[in-house]
Copies of this chain bind each other. A is one copy, B any other.
Amino acid sequence: MDAEERKIPSHEVTYARLRDMILYGHLAPGAPVTIQGLIADLGAGMTPVREAIRRLTAEGALLPQGNRRVAVPQLSSEMLDQVAFARLAIEPKLAELAGGRLTPAQIDRLEAIDGKVNRAIEAGCLSDYLAANHAFHFALYKAAEAPVLLDLARSLWLRAGPSLRAVIARYGRETAPDLHREALAAMRSGDAKALAGAIERDIQQGVDHVRQSLAESS
């Protein structure tokens, strides 16, 4: 397994690891992210860590504090509104574009991923759920072949990531309508518009969850 990693630069690996920590809510909002701390935790050199932090700062996943430190941002209500607006503007479009290009094999793959999502919900494993949900959305979005919009979506998910941690408390989302299933049905029938609509409602649902969690914790 070392033979593969040897080809990937260390700063890419470090970036991916830090990104996933943020994306899956392993870092608390407001927690300081220090270079030295990551060197110790990830066992990486200084330069790779610096670059990972810079990249994620540029993507909005980390917030520079006035002094020259960075921290995990705490999403305020206003920022959540902005993220929600942008996600609702970008991601349904990605879904619509993807809708016209999906092959049956890709739909099968998405259905398999959605199975993982449901299993994670049943097992009550939030970490798995967040990873599988992310995989589902981005496997779909990647099919749109729209790299610019894909990058924007990635940035927006990163901004929302740390706050998903707050959802841990109110983790009873099985009652909500399963919009992934609706999306899959739209894919099978080749209805790109319906697919976009399902994704739009899925996003809205997720944002409402986070908004309620933030309201409760404040």
A209 to chain B, nearest CB (A): 19
Set B47, B50, B68, B155: member contacting A152, Cβ < 8 A: B155
In the bound complex, how far is the Cα of B72 from the Cα of A150, in angstroms? 19
Closest to A146 in B: B82
Q: How many residues of A contact B (CB 8 A)?
A: 31
- Report A139-152 CB contacts with B as 1/0, cut-off 8 Å: 00000011111011
Closest to A148 in B: B82
A169 to chain B, nearest CB (A): 24
A149 touches B82 (CB 8 A): yes
Q: Is there a chain B Cβ closer than 8 Å to A131's Cβ?
A: no
Q: Is there a chain B Cβ closer than 8 Å to A83's Cβ?
A: yes
Closest to A11 in B: B54
Q: Nearest 10 A-B pairs (CB), nearest first?
A: A82-B148, A89-B89, A58-B58, A55-B58, A51-B54, A54-B54, A82-B149, A82-B146, A58-B59, A54-B55
